[in-house]
Every structure is written in C-alpha cells, then in structure tokens.
Structure 1
Amino acid sequence: MTDQSQPIFEELTKLKSESVYDYFVILFNDSIHEFSYVEDCLMKLCFKTKREAKKIAIEAHSNGKAICFHGSMEECETVADNMTNANLTVSYGV
C-alpha cells in the first residue's frame, strides 16, 4: 500500500459516513389537518420543539412542502411511516 492510497481511503470513508445522514422527510401541505394537529405530530414523531414544529408547519403551508426530519435512511423511513399513519402526506429520500 502506498502512502498516496491512505488519504484517498480516508476521504472515501469520510464521504461515506457523512452521506449516511443525507436523507430527508418532506411534509406536504394539505387542507385537511389543522395547524395544531400537524405541530403535535411534528413534535411527537419528528422530535421537534414547539417552535420548530410551528416553523415547519408554516413553511409547508406557505411553500407547499417543508423538510421536517433529517437522518439516516432507516430513521427517515420510520418517521415517514409514522407520519403517514398519522394521515399526513410525506415523502423521504436523498
């Protein structure tokens, strides 16, 4: 192994470990649920504070969508499933 291969391996490992958490859950606006319900779901299912939940709910209402969770693929899949089970419209991905 040459000295030049070590930094490349470390760089690839670093990039791989950083990209594990490059997944997002996106909340979409709907006209069915009240703000308070959406905020409660964001606090309970996305682990947000009241202030963060309110900000995300307002952004989704204003822009049609908002990122509500950031984490690994498995975490995002779980959060998206829980949000869907709460009858909210979400998607997740990179």
Structure 2
Amino acid sequence: MTEENLPTTFEETKSKFDSIYFYFVILFNDSIHEFSYVEDCLMKLCFKTKKEAKKIAMEAHSNGKAVCFQGSMEECETVAENMTTANLTVILGV
C-alpha cells in the first residue's frame, strides 16, 4: 500500500477492515414470532444493541431478509446455529 492509499481517518481505517469478514448470517422475516422476540434474539445471539436490533428486525420485516451478523466462518456458524435453535430462519452467506 503506497502512502497515497493509506487511510487518513479512523472511519476510513474502519471501512478498510470491515471487509475482512466475508461471512455473514441472513435473517428472514416470518409471521410467527413477535417483533420483540426477534429483537431480543438479535441482542442476545448476535450481540447487537437495542437500536441495531430494531433496525435489523425492521429491515427483515420490510424487505423479507436482513444481514444480522458478520464475522469469521466459525462465528457465523455458531450464531446461525443459535438463531436456528431459537426457531428463527437464517442462512449463512459468503
């Protein structure tokens, strides 16, 4: 990386490293679970804040699906397994 391409701010640095995790978990909307239950699962199982959980749940509700977690393959497999155990519909993505 040349000096010209180096990030100059924290946000630029952060965005450069956001892409190191190529795996993610996609949450699908369903008509079975209450919104609050989905939010609680997102907070507990995906380590989201209340605000993030609400945003993800709303996106899944509106668009039919939403990325709820991003990380290493092992982390995503664990999160997906836990979400499935909580009776939520998820898939792994790359």
Query: How high is the TM-score relative to the length of structure 1?
Result: 0.79
Q: Give the structure 1 partner of residue 33 of structure 2.
A: 33
Q: Give the structure 2 partner of residue 59 of structure 1.
A: 59
SS in 2 for 1:30: coil
Are 1:47 and 2:47 matched, yes or no?
A: yes
Please list every run of 5 or more consecutive structure 1 residues that lacks an aligned counterpart in the other structure.
1-17
1:19 is displaced (CA, Å) by: 6.8
Partners of 2:82 and 2:70 lie apart in 1 by 15
Identity within the alignment, %: 86
1:89 is displaced (CA, Å) by: 0.1
Partners of 2:65 and 2:23 lie apart in 1 by 16
Please list every run of 5 or more consecutive structure 2 residues that lacks an aligned counterpart in the other structure.
1-17
Residue identity opposite 2:55 in structure 1: K
1:23 is displaced (CA, Å) by: 0.3
Q: Give the structure 2 partner of residue 6 of structure 1.
A: none
Residue identity opposite 1:39 in structure 2: E
SS in 2 for 1:47: coil
The CA deviation string for residues 34-87 of structure 1, in whole angstroms up to 9 with x for no partner, is: 000000000000000000000000000000000000000000000000000000
